[in-house]
Structure 1
């Protein structure tokens, strides 16, 4: 997308972009099948590989140019290691998907400045002492700029793309087309439940005022934390389309991935504690854990940004998830099956056995259920997510009719996306040993856990 070309916002225009991609994929697949007649196995493999790589490339191109909900899907899957493309092409595909996290096509500065001035009621020159014209990040619904207030504070200014609200709503009306495309490219992630969950939650990201309120609460909650930080929103400078926050200076995820293993392990534990531990400690969590939303500060703290998808759960739902974690880790399959039937997750008439229920949970979540040291890899993270979304792809066919209630679907997505981030870090830890702090109330067994316990004690004085 050129800098002066507006975002296509009509359902027809945006649907056509995805339709062309889906049609192209179908033609390539059919053409590849026809070309394989009479060819050797090696030639057939090369033809199939070429079709897969072309489909992957076009997928990234379409998602990146559309922004809105389409690009959000690309961001989600950038932390996975999909079987869409042959193994020796996956890193290139991952790199292209990763570009969707924070290097989306830019919108002209004059158009973005008009949003700031319209919403804040004054010129950029009067509102800020300095305002860099070049964005430091470009994401699914907006761009982020570095600026300085007249009182000297350096801030990040997130501005929505003009018309992106209409684009998102058009995307939502094209869910059937999304499903058609993803079934052609990644069958396991095309389940209607996942896309419906996205539909229900994505429009919330359009309200920067709500995000500012959430970010202020979290900044206050984690103030003076020993190893993580949440930059505060600047009161009086946030609107529905403009979000001004403290600037967190740090290195991005691509550089974090190149750090020594011990440092990546430390960062992985911080990510795990923030995204997963917060649900069980505070009954709320960030629903969008992806690499573009975290930075490593010069002081060693990890800064978390972007809270447009933030959810709160009723305590009874959180307690149910904790009960299931305890039953699974203790291998109490009969109790786990009974709890899932009572909750409506498993149909009592489906013939699912206690062992099958337990094995399914372990296959998807063994990484935080087993008391041993484990390195999370991209392929391990991907297989867990694919199985959780589509158990029919494996041996758990008896689970195929089961559905996760809405109150748990979003938290499980956050869980698996966190798992995906840890896979990109290839982080190693005894994840269950850490989780026992919130599952059983155990004393911490890591240095970070001890430091956090000490900090919580100070906060409660």
Structure 2
């Protein structure tokens, strides 16, 4: 599953971005931002448009400068240009925050097929700062948001408060503090004006979706846009996130290898989230560990993100590397429950039936099940065998009964096979209409596989997944530990 060399960036690269995604300093040395976050729709469109235009102009210049050079010389120029682009992406998208910055976070995990393979690792490493170390907003601005939500001064609520953020991401920064009862806590504070900025992005997204209708005529863009708007509006409300995290923490309390820090509800507000503080190795340090450690973390992440879909009928919508930590005791802590999706039992049962049919090669059954979901406006346009091949290309990494060594290139292939006009499936499957509810499960699976690819984790993902696909007993050590916990025999 390798991207052909020579694939050029096109407008279609932008269209393959999952629809839920939508200073000047080096990515290596991110520091305080020099200006406020642009919040108006015009300002954000202008800034992003100028960036895209600049990139296009540089791409033309790069092609001109490589004309007549040797293959090796052209490769060096393209690599250098890719790494320069990474710095510029961090600068522009990092300063914009919000949905625009989520695009940069996604590109740090899953390549869009536009970066030379030789430069891909360094490109994604530079963009990794957008996951939790983006350029920060000054504490003076953040303090005003914090104290307004708390209704009191910092000293009244906290015994200690470190003004230097420990993480800085798309809609807020995280600080370390200590409550008067001695508990160490993480305090996530929204950027001032970020709500206005994100809503401006949503309006721009509506235009993008209408434009995308030309390329995906089978999709109900109004319904999809409403689903995205609802999820992102929920993400902006930290009170909702606090309640969600509290419930999920309760579900996983006492788990043998998964930790979800609980929220401290009495100190949470619309723009402030206070949770238990967890410490551990961040993702960049995890990838430096042994294959055994990376495989273990990969299986835990797969169980938490994909297992939650089918066991709990709910799941976090942002399974990216910035949202997990490897604790000293070997447990993996998961954070960030702002983008969270709950699904009906009926929807999950339908998904399970589809996956079983695809796994077993039952093309006609798969076609019938998907048609029942309203996926095909005209069922006869899409042969059953073509649909089976498409599903297997999209999620075959956990439908194949064998060891799969995940790589970043494989995650890129899955993305292109799933939604990109360059895909071999596009001409026939552009007419499919996947209900928005199910778009989010596919996004979560794609992001999870991207995370596994960054880890270069290997496992028989299918045999692990058969626990929830077929209700079979576990076959791995972690599975046995989790089963004992679930049965109360641990």
TM-score normalised by L of structure 1: 0.92
* Counterpart-to-counterpart distance in 2, 1:283 and 1:168: 27
Note the 1:376-415 alignment, pairs <5 A.
376-390=406-420, 392-395=422-425, 397-415=427-445
Note the 1:13-412 alignment, pairs <5 A.
13-32=43-62, 39-40=68-69, 42=71, 54-175=84-205, 196=225, 198-349=228-379, 351-390=381-420, 392-395=422-425, 397-412=427-442
- Tell me, yes or no, if the aligned pair for 2:243 and 2:265 is still in contact at 8 Å: no
- Tell me, yes or no, if the aligned pair for 1:436 and 1:442 is still in contact at 8 Å: yes
Q: Against the structure 1 CA distance between its residues 4 and 58, is the aligned structure 2 distance closer, same or farther, given a 3 Å change threshold?
A: closer
* Counterpart-to-counterpart distance in 2, 1:123 and 1:62: 33
- Tell me, yes or no, if the aligned pair for 2:134 and 2:169 is still in contact at 8 Å: yes
- Tell me, yes or no, if the aligned pair for 2:419 and 2:426 is still in contact at 8 Å: no
How far off is 1:5 after superposition? 2.3
Q: Which runs of 5+ in 1 are unaligned?
A: none
Q: Which runs of 5+ in 2 are unaligned?
A: 1-22, 24-31
- Tell me, yes or no, if the aligned pair for 1:70 and 1:171 is still in contact at 8 Å: yes
Higher mean displacement: 291-300 or 60-69: 60-69
Secondary structure of the equivalent of 1:458? coil
Higher mean displacement: 26-35 or 213-222: 26-35
- Tell me, yes or no, if the aligned pair for 2:407 and 2:454 is still in contact at 8 Å: yes
Secondary structure of the equivalent of 1:244? strand
* Counterpart-to-counterpart distance in 1, 2:78 and 2:154: 53
* RMSD of Structure 2 on Structure 1 (CA): 2.7
Q: Against the structure 1 CA distance between its residues 45 and 244, is the aligned structure 2 distance closer, same or farther, given a 3 Å change threshold?
A: closer
TM-score normalised by L of structure 2: 0.86
Question: Which digits, 9 at most, give the CA deviation of each residue in 1:106-133, with x for residues without a partner?
Answer: 1111221121111111111111110001
Higher mean displacement: 168-177 or 210-219: 168-177
Aligned residue in 1 for 2:451: 421
* Counterpart-to-counterpart distance in 2, 1:65 and 1:11: 15
How far off is 1:199 after superposition? 4.2
Aligned residue in 2 for 1:450: 480
Aligned residue in 2 for 1:6: 36
Higher mean displacement: 379-388 or 411-420: 379-388
Secondary structure of the equivalent of 1:129? strand
How far off is 1:55 after superposition? 4.4
Question: Which digits, 9 at most, give the CA deviation of each residue in 1:383-440, with x for residues without a partner?
Answer: 1122212264225531122121111001110111011111111111110101111111
Aligned residue in 2 for 1:441: 471
* Counterpart-to-counterpart distance in 1, 2:273 and 2:428: 47
* Counterpart-to-counterpart distance in 2, 1:398 and 1:35: 39
- Tell me, yes or no, if the aligned pair for 1:337 and 1:354 is still in contact at 8 Å: yes
